[in-house]
């Protein structure tokens, strides 16, 4: 029986994937690296330090430390969140309905906590979540399941009592590997939609979600 609902953040609560793509393109291009749409889809849901490590292995650079590259991307994302960030369709209604229900609500994101804080403040949704957790505090990020497993423990529930909302394939894999149910809401420009069949259910937006669905999973 589902007792808790855990939300991803980027691309699910806020349309921030364009912010990540813009920031990564800007910083990686300054280092002479090429980036493309296929790369961005592979990176979705992953921690930015792991993305930078991967890019460094593909095309090593020496002029800027990897830690500085991570920081430059993160700061640019935060700037864009503050300037342009908006909640995606159905976010406020879904959070409000869950807040008025017996279900616990958590957030588990691959983003660093300072990005999470910026998003929660910008959208004014801090008070909806009992637990907010970042993969930066885990040894491994998504698609490893530990971020979700830790969030369940913080919520005081078992992994198999959780439903996860995810927009990335890496996030769906992470949730299922944790032993949780998962509803996928793929990013609107995703080209790998056929792979989301592994999720328990796929929706177009959060507007399509109804609380009664939790009893059927």
Q: pLDDT tens digits, residue range 61-104?
A: 988 999 999 999 999 999 999 999 999 999 999 999 999 999 99
pLDDT at 44: 86
Confidence of residue 155 (pLDDT cuts 50, 70, 90): very high
d(CA 132, CA 144): 18
Q: Could you tell me which of 74, 91, 87 has the C-alpha nearest to residue 19?
A: 74
Inter-residue contact 11 to 171 (CB < 8 Å): no
Same CATH fold, 17-84 and 4-15+86-215?
A: no
CATH match of 4-15+86-215 with 3.30.360.10: no
Check whether the bond before 126 is cis (ω within 30° of 0): no
Q: Which residues are catalytic?
A: 8, 10
Domain coordinates in residue numbering, the chain: 4-15+86-215, 17-84
Per-chain mean pLDDT for the chain: 94
Euclidean distance between CA atoms 104 and 5, whole angstroms: 6
Global pTM value? 0.91
Residue 22 CA from chain centroid, whole number? 17
pLDDT of res. 187: 80
Dihedral (C-alpha) 124, 146, 209, 81: value to the nearest 10 degrees?
30
The CA-atom distances, in angstroms, between 17 and each of 122, 211, 212 are 16, 27, 29
What's the CATH architecture for 17-84? Orthogonal Bundle (1.10)
The Cβ-side half-sphere exposure at 29, using a 13 Å CA radius, reads 8
Q: Which pLDDT band, with edges at 50, 70 and 90, does 5 fall under?
A: very high
């Amino acid at each position: 029986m589902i007792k808790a609902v855990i939300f991803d953040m980027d691309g699910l609560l806020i349309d921030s994937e364009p912010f990540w793509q813009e920031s990564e393109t800007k910083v990686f291009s300054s280092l002479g690296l090429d980036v493309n749409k296929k790369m961005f889809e592979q990176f979705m849901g992953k921690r930015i330090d792991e993305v930078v490590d991967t890019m460094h292995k593909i095309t090593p650079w020496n002029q800027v430390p990897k830690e500085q590259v991570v920081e430059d991307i993160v700061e640019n994302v935060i700037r864009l969140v503050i300037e342009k960030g908006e909640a995606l369709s159905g976010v406020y209604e879904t959070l409000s309905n869950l807040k008025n229900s017996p279900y616990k609500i958590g957030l588990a994101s691959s983003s660093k906590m300072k990005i999470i804080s910026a998003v929660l403040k910008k959208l004014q949704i801090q008070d909806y979540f009992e637990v907010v957790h970042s993969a930066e505090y885990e040894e491994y990020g998504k698609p490893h399941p530990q971020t979700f497993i830790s969030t369940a423990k913080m919520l005081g529930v078992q992994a198999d009592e959780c439903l996860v909302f995810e927009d990335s394939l890496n996030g769906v894999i992470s949730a299922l590997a944790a032993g949780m149910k998962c509803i996928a809401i793929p990013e609107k420009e995703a080209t790998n939609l056929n792979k989301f069949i592994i999720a328990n259910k796929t929706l177009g937006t959060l507007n399509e979600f109804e609380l009664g669905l939790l009893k059927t999973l």
